[in-house]
Amino acid sequence: MKIDVRAAAPSDIAVDALIAVFFEDEPFTAGPLAGLDAALDGALAACREASELRGRRDEVTYLHAPKGLAAGRLVLVGMGRREADRYQIGRAIAVGVRYLRGKKHASVGVVDRSELGGELFGQLVAEAVESASVDLSAYKTEDRNDLHVEACTVQTDSSREQAVRRGVERGSIVADGIRFARSLGNEPGDKMTPRIMAERAAELAGELGLGIEVLEEERLKELGMGALLGVARGSEEPARLIVLSYEPETATSSDVVAFVGKGITFDSGGISIKPREGMEWMKYDMCGGAAVLGAMRAIAKLKPGRKVLGLVAAAENMPSGKAIKPGDVLRSYSGKTIEVLNTDAEGRLVLSDALTYAIEKGATRIVDLATLTGACVIALGHVFAGLMSNDQEWADGVLAAAGSAGEKIWQLPLDKAYRELIRSDIADIKNLGGRTAGTITAGYFLREFVGSTPWVHLDIAGTAWVEEDRPDIARGATGFGVPTLVELVAPAAS
Ligand code: BES
Ligand code: MN
Ligand code: ZN
């Protein structure tokens, strides 16, 4: 997508479709839409008088060839009542662009919202416009409902132009990282195996000058990564531990932040096999790993002054005559032994070895991302991701980054009292808690492998993909986590 910034009146933006977003409680006679209303001879205010154009959330009003505008169409998108959420505006722009799917418009424009800083506005537009073009039609040969938009003009005034430009630049980079993560997530399980994921990571590293190490089965065996290998044992697809590294020439911080993603490219449950209904969703069980790769892609372009590692523990969880069984004991890379009571609790197994390896590679702070527990979806739904941590300061840092990046994350307690729920009679730990606190016992399991290194675990089981089309995003992978990770190590100027 080509995104341009123009300091001009909204009525002078010559595009196929001009998008303007507005709040329910916002007048048209003053404020961001006043220029448009004047150019349209008061038509917007007149509609409001007639109780039209209420500005309810996601309400789209589409006008053909409006007289007085250089644009061919006007797309008005409601945002509901103004909340303390600056991402309302980004969402509405995405709704406007997605509304144009199936219509043959090649260029869009977006009208400025001056209550936001120019940089943030530019970033929101870029992210929204890019996001709208991702969908699940890659394997359709007919009935595609494509977005034909190829260029976007961001309208602003000359006082904001430079800031909006900087924001567009950053937004395009973040959006590309999100798009990358979503495209990996949306691939079917047979098109996104651990080996293919590693190849994509290697291409990414080559393209952007990141360091890369891919540990293959033989090396994993030599090292003794029994937990990761145990999960992969039932599958014909060999496991991979992917390690990307970003090392700036001059680091301004001695911190090494490591992102660690769960990369289960398909989770059948293994011998503790899942029910047939909905098992197809488990191709998305690598979305934590995809978010790590997407974030590394953006970070390599934004070039922050600190070292960042990106690890993905990639494996396929399948039942077979070779598969691990309930009751088996695995020896993890850390040396700790794990009693496997349910082979479907595989995410914590592959992550445990990756976390140990991240610390060995010098990580001083860690964030892991995983579609780890169905219990997290029960607790927080598809709205918030769960956060657990062994270090409140680091947790606060991640929560703040998520807030700035527009992602919803909620902290759950990781109290020592939960430890006894994963005590094993025959090994150091078991991979299954009881019926209660399933998200926390999974988080606690991971905690046992990070020692005192500040660590945050994000359970993204409810937010990594959406099951139905929404006005602002297509069904499928969301790229959840990419904005937060990028904001954490390469924050936007505020
Ligand atoms: N990948 C699943 C968790 C999941 C389920 C994510 C549904 C998104 C939607 C994970 O590997 C899993 O199977 N977890 C089990 C753990 C249980 C066996 C302790 C679960 O949540 O049922
Ligand atoms: Mn599972
Ligand atoms: Zn899983």
pLDDT, average across residues 31-45: 93
Work out the number of other CB atoms within 10 angstroms of the CB of residue 140.
11
Amino acid at the residue 261: G
pLDDT digits 0-9 by tens, 61-118: 999 989 999 999 999 999 999 998 878 999 999 999 999 999 999 999 999 999 999 9
Of 5-9, 14-18, 250-254, 391-395, the range with the lowest mean pLDDT is: 250-254
What distance in Å separates the CA atoms of residue 312 and residue 328, rounded to the nearest whole number? Answer: 24
Closest atom of ligand 1 relative to the 264 alpha carbon: 1
Contact residues for 133 (Cβ-Cβ < 8 A; gap 6+): 1, 97, 147, 149, 179
Q: pLDDT (tens digit, 9 = 90+) per residue, 267-322? A: 999 999 999 999 999 999 999 999 999 999 999 999 999 999 999 999 999 999 99
- CA-wise closest residue to 447 among 380, 371, 387: 387
Amino acid at 442: A
* Mean pLDDT estimate for the chain: 96
Helices (H) and strands (E) in the chain, counts: 14, 19
Q: Is 461 in the pocket of ligand 1 (CB under 6 A)?
A: yes
Which runs of consecutive H residues, i.e. helices, occur in 2-81? 34-39, 43-49
Letter for the amino acid at 82? R
| pLDDT value for 301 | 98
C-alpha to C-alpha distances, 319 to 234, 290, 322, nearest whole angstrom: 5, 24, 8
Q: What's the pLDDT at 87?
A: 87
Give pLDDT, residue 65. 87
pLDDT for the residue 263: 99
The answer to whether 395 touches 387, Cβ cutoff 8 Å, is yes
Mutation to probe ligand 1, out of 340, 346, 373 (largest number of atoms < 8 A from CB): 373
With beta carbons less than 8 A apart as the criterion, state whether 219 and 357 touch: no
Please report how the helices 194-208 and 161-186 are oriented relative to each other, as an axis angle in degrees rounded to 10.
Answer: 150
Distance between CA atoms of residues 138 and 160, nearest Å: 38
Confirm or reject: Cβ of 377 under 6 Å from ligand 1: yes
Please report which helix (H) or strand (E) contains residue 318, including its range.
none
Cα→Cα distances 378→43, 288, 438, 448, 462, Å? 47, 19, 10, 24, 8
Token digits for 488? Answer: 């954490």
- Each residue of 310-361: pLDDT tens digit? 999 999 999 999 999 999 999 999 999 999 999 999 999 999 999 999 999 9
Q: Please, are residues 65 and 35 in contact by the beta-carbon 8 Å criterion?
A: no
Please tell me if the CB atom of residue 346 comes closer than 6 angstroms to any atom of ligand 1: yes
Give tens-digit pLDDT for 449-489. Answer: 999 999 999 999 999 999 999 999 999 999 999 999 999 99
Taking the chain, what is the end-to-end CA distance rounded to the nearest angstrom? 25
pLDDT value for 25:
86
DSSP three-state, residue 304: coil
Of residues 424, 438, 463, the one with CA closest to residue 345: 438
Could you tell me the two tokens for 101? Answer: 């799917």
> Per the structure block, which two tokens stand in for 66?
């409006």
**Residue with more model confidence, 254 or 188:** 188
Using the mean position of ligand 3's atoms as its centre, give its distance from the Cα of residue 358 in Å.
Answer: 21
Residue 164 host element (H or E): helix 161-186
Its pTM surpasses 0.85: yes
Hey, which residues are catalytic here? 274, 348
Q: What is the pLDDT of residue 251?
A: 84
Ligand 1 pocket member 373 (CB < 6 A) = yes
Distance (Å) from CA 299 to ligand 2 centroid: 30
* Ligand 1 and 432: CB distance under 6 A: yes
In 3D space, the residue among 365, 58, 59, 57 whose CA is nearest the CA of residue 47 turns out to be: 59
